[in-house]
Amino acid sequence: MIIRKINLVNFRNLVKQQIIFDKRINIFIGDNAQGKTNILESIYFLALTKSYRTNDYNLINKDEEFTKVKGEIKDTSISKSLSVEIVNENKIVRINNNEIKKISDYITNLNVILVSPEDINILQGTPAERRNFLNIELSQLSKNYIKKYNEFNKILKIRNNYLKMLYNSSSPDRRYLDSLTENLIDREIDIYQERKKFIDMINESISKIYEDILGIKKFNIKYETNIEFENFDTDSLKEILEKKYNNSLQKEIDNGMTLYGPHRDDLKFFINNDDIKIFGSQGQQKVAIISLKLAEIAIFKELTGTNPIILLDDIFSELDSKTRNKLINYIPNDIQVIITSNDTRGINRSFLESAKIYKVVNGKIVEKVGNNNGK
Ligand X SMILES: Nc1ncnc2c1ncn2[C@@H]1O[C@H](COP(=O)(O)OP(=O)(O)O)[C@@H](O)[C@H]1O
Continuous H helices in the chain: 36-48, 103-106, 120-124, 127-141, 143-168, 174-214, 234-247, 249-255, 276-279, 282-304, 315-318, 321-330, 349-353
**Nearer residue to ligand X within complex by CB, 115 or 163:** 115
Interface with ligand X, residue 261, by CB under 6 A: no
CA 56, distance to chain mean position in Å, is 16
Residues in a beta bridge with 6: 19, 71
Q: Measuring CA to CA, which residue among 193, 224, 216 is closest to residue 272?
A: 216
Tell me how far, at minimum, the Cβ of 117 lies from ligand X, in Å.
10
Q: Measuring CA to CA, which residue among 178, 187, 189 is closest to residue 252?
A: 178
From Mg ion, ligand X, none, interface partner of 373 (C-beta below 5 to 8 A by class): none
Continuous H helices in 142-264: 143-168, 174-214, 234-247, 249-255
**Nearer residue to ligand X within complex by CB, 42 or 111:** 42
Between CA 38 and CA 30 the distance in angstroms is 12
Question: How many residues touch ligand X (CB under 6 A)?
Answer: 15
Binding residues for ligand X restricted to 35-64, rule: CB under 6 A: 35-38, 58, 60-62
Cβ–Cβ < 8 Å for 325, 348: yes
Binding residues for ligand X restricted to 87-116, rule: CB under 6 A: none
**Nearer residue to ligand X within complex by CB, 62 or 101:** 62
Site string for ligand X, 323-352 (x = CB under 6 A): -----------------x------------
From ligand X, Mg ion, none, interface partner of 361 (C-beta below 5 to 8 A by class): none
Span interacting with ligand X, options 31-39, 169-177, 211-219, 331-339, rule CB under 6 A: 31-39
CA 282, distance to chain mean position in Å, is 22
**Nearer residue to ligand X within complex by CB, 32 or 77:** 32
Tell me how far, at minimum, the Cβ of 340 lies from Mg ion, in Å.
6
Tell me how far, at minimum, the Cβ of 37 lies from Mg ion, in Å.
3
The residues of the shown chain that bind Mg ion, judged by CB under 5 A, are: 37
